[in-house]
Amino acid sequence: MRVDRGVPRMAVAGVALAAGVAFATAAWAQGEWKAPAEAHALKNPIKKLDPKALDDAKRTVDANCMPCHGTNYKGDGPAAAALPTKPADWTSEKVQRQTDGEIFWKISNGRGAMPPWGSLPEKQRWEIVSFIRTLKK
């Protein structure tokens, strides 16, 4: 009598795949993104962006953030449709009412599809925060 070992292996592979999909789905199904309390108090050392710094920040944002946040920074970039969680609309009241420290923390640490940008120099991340402030409706 011959035992077909392919079926149990396929069953194990199927269970492993299902578990992986369930884990990935849970990781993507994220609730409201809140920065930790200590981030709330962080102060932006940049009081006002000069025109060159503003232009530099816009270039950094367009190169790194535009695919998801879009050309108008409303969370409607070309990659946004494929994401399980819509990227933030930087012009919205929800974003604009966050403290500079909270936005800085989110840029630095990322979450889900949003990569952590802690590799950018700190000054550049603060400039991005200041740029986001210029988008207030």
Distance CA 107, CA 129 (A): 8
Q: What is the pTM of this model?
A: 0.77
Q: Where are the beta strands (DSSP E) in 19-119?
A: none
What dotted CATH number matches 33-133? 1.10.760.10
Q: Would you write out the chain's pLDDT as a tens digit for each of its 137 residues?
A: 555 555 454 444 434 444 444 444 444 456 889 999 999 999 999 989 999 999 999 999 999 999 999 999 999 999 999 999 999 999 999 999 999 999 999 999 999 999 999 999 999 999 999 999 999 87
Going from N- to C-terminal start, the domains of the chain cover 1-30, 33-133
Distance CA 123, CA 52 (A): 14
